[in-house]
Amino acid sequence: MIRPHGCDFLMPLLVDNPARLKVLQEEAAYLPSMMLSSAAAANAVMLGAGYFTPLAGFMDKADALRVARDMRTSKGLFWPVPVLNLTTEGQDIAPGSRLALRDPNVAGNPVIAIQDVQAVEELSQDDVDFIAQQVYRTTDQAHPGVSTFASLGRVVVSGPIEVLNLSYFQSDFPDTFRSAVDIRAEIEKRGWNNVVAFQTRNPMHRAHEELCKMALEAVDADGVLIHMLLGKLKPGDIPADVRDAAIRKMVELYFPPNSVMITGYGFDMLYAGPREAVLHALFRQNAGCTHLIVGRDHAGVGDYYGAFDAQTIFDESVPADALEIKIFRADHTAYSTKLNKVVMMRDAPDHQKEDFVLLSGTRVREMLGAGEDLPVEFARPEVARILMDHFAQEAANTA
């Protein structure tokens, strides 16, 4: 099986020894506590679940700036996005202390991790702007990732952590949330060698379905990991439970048996385009995947990135030896009315735009909200019905 990033074995930070967990839980009751941001809590989950192997905790200021500039930590580890615990209030936090980190996303704010504080440092406004420009390629506050990053505070609390639980993901998504450890174990159990990962924060339509099948065939894969984001999204995105139901129905009806693993991971979407595509590849390697589908405007938002910037970054900025996982480069995929099948648009040079069934996200939401059937060339009827029911329920709740 493909090696984890930067080491020979996964390094999940979730405490799985019951005796050690009990000691930490008792200690947490007496430690000074800090309320995490949702972003930092998501980082803790990814660290705990092994997705962020081989990191041992939250980065310091030097690492954050170096990663933003060079995609390397101060010790030379390749990493595309700073992994930070930022706060607006760090005056009472002392280097050398231990902190109980509280989860903002669970009722009662239980302790999600304990951190050994190595440093407490402050980012200047120039530092914040520099990181935003490098990671998001913009400092525009209209960008959802930039606005979230700017709101987290400037105090960097760095140091290793021990993770006590994986937040709400295991309880809210027991059939879907899986750690990198879980996924590797399942891949090994199935005897898969080549595994293609498909990243999604949206329901999957016909084009996505066929793209997965194209990639399976193109790289001679044993199976595909449909790996959906279960954390925080921007307003208007389809909730995770609805996406989950829609994807499961599509796989049940339209994929060969035992060719797909449907899983999810606990992270908040960054909308960082190319940098996030590299992060997606890195933690899919940690999950045991050999290939990641990177399509048009992968992890993008608005018009902040070029259509294929998330592919070219692997050529221009990712050293050849940085990652073992390979990317499968996908074009925009749509149903061709001339060929009566879904194709990559680059493979149909004789087509005009009107030869494809293309719907914008806005138009899809309008149709679903109005109870209109989506074209069968665009969405499987069974999938469309789940989405229509969701929009109808939303409309009823706001009436």
- DSSP readout, 34-74? EEPPHHHHHHHHHHHTTTTTT--EE--HHHHHHHHHHSB-T
pLDDT per residue as tens digits for the range 363-382:
887 888 888 888 898 999 99
Q: Determine which one of 109, 154, 202, 365 is catalytic.
A: 202
Q: How confident is the model at residue 264 (pLDDT cuts 50, 70, 90)?
A: very high
154 is catalytic: no
Q: Determine which one of 72, 154, 190, 201 is catalytic.
A: 201
Task: Say how far apart CA 246 and CA 364 lie, in whole Å.
Answer: 15
202 is catalytic: yes
Q: Which residues of 287-301 are buried (b: 16+ CB within 10 A; e: fewer)?
A: bbbbbbbbbbbbbbb
pTM for the predicted model, two decimal places: 0.94
In the predicted model, is pLDDT for residue 40 greater than 90? yes
Q: What is the pLDDT of residue 105?
A: 95
Structure-token match 């060719």, residue found: 259
Q: How confident is the model at residue 174 (pLDDT cuts 50, 70, 90)?
A: very high
Token representation of residue 176 = 């879907």
pLDDT per residue as tens digits for the range 275-294:
999 999 999 999 999 999 99
Task: Say how far apart CA 230 and CA 239 lie, in whole Å.
Answer: 8
Q: Hey, what domains does the chain have and what are their CATH numbers?
A: 18-167 (3.10.400.10), 175-265+271-398 (3.40.50.620)
pLDDT averaged over every residue in the chain: 93
Q: What is the pLDDT of residue 396?
A: 78
In the predicted model, is pLDDT for residue 244 greater than 80? yes
pLDDT per residue as tens digits for the range 139-169:
999 999 999 999 999 999 999 999 999 999 9
In the predicted model, is pLDDT for residue 399 greater than 80? no
In the predicted model, is pLDDT for residue 233 greater than 70? no
